[in-house]
Amino acid sequence: MPLPQPELGLVVHYGFVWSGADRPSAPDSGKDGPCVIVDLLEVEDLPGRKTLRVTYLPISHTEPREGESAKLIPARVTNHLGLTAEKSYVYTTNACEDDWPFDLAHVPGRRDRFHYGFVPPRLFEAIAQDFRQHLARRRGHVYRR
């Protein structure tokens, strides 16, 4: 089963680490769940060796808390992606950066897939815009694994 090619807007099943002042977690205690790829950056981690760094935004059924921001995913999009019928939110104030393809997991019930599909371009642009605005206010506010 091949890994998907990482692309902006792709929703993958990833071991996301929730972190923040009121969300303490151990460094490697991720919770597998759907996440949107919102940024890709190729870095040279050792001379002559390049690594792809991916920034993930989590998708959750939990409504955002005070001080957090999230975009409600329209029901037709959650249905298209094969997510549950519950309301789902893409958090734009919680992000995790990791080297590709570390901590990817299989989609539940699908031993042949690591991804759900893509969010539509207009929704992705709204998500990315909210995330950029958050980063402009809180530089360096991305959990790095």
pLDDT in tens, 4-33: 999 999 999 999 987 654 555 545 557 899
Q: Which residue has the higher pLDDT, 23 or 85?
A: 85
Q: Name the residue ranges covered by the structural domains of the chain.
A: 12-138
Which contacts of 34-37 are long-range, i.e. CB under 8 A and separated by 24 or more positions? 34/58, 34/59, 34/81, 34/83, 34/88, 34/116, 35/11, 35/59, 35/96, 36/9, 36/10, 36/11, 36/90, 36/119, 36/124, 36/127, 37/6, 37/7, 37/8, 37/9, 37/10, 37/11, 37/12
* pLDDT on residue 137: 87
% pLDDT > 90, the chain: 74
Which CATH number among 1.10.3470, 2.40.160, 2.30.30, 1.10.8 corresponds to the domain 12-138?
Answer: 2.30.30
pLDDT mean across residues, the chain: 89
CA atoms 33, 36, 38, 40: torsion sign: positive
37-52 pLDDT tens trace? 999 999 998 899 999 9
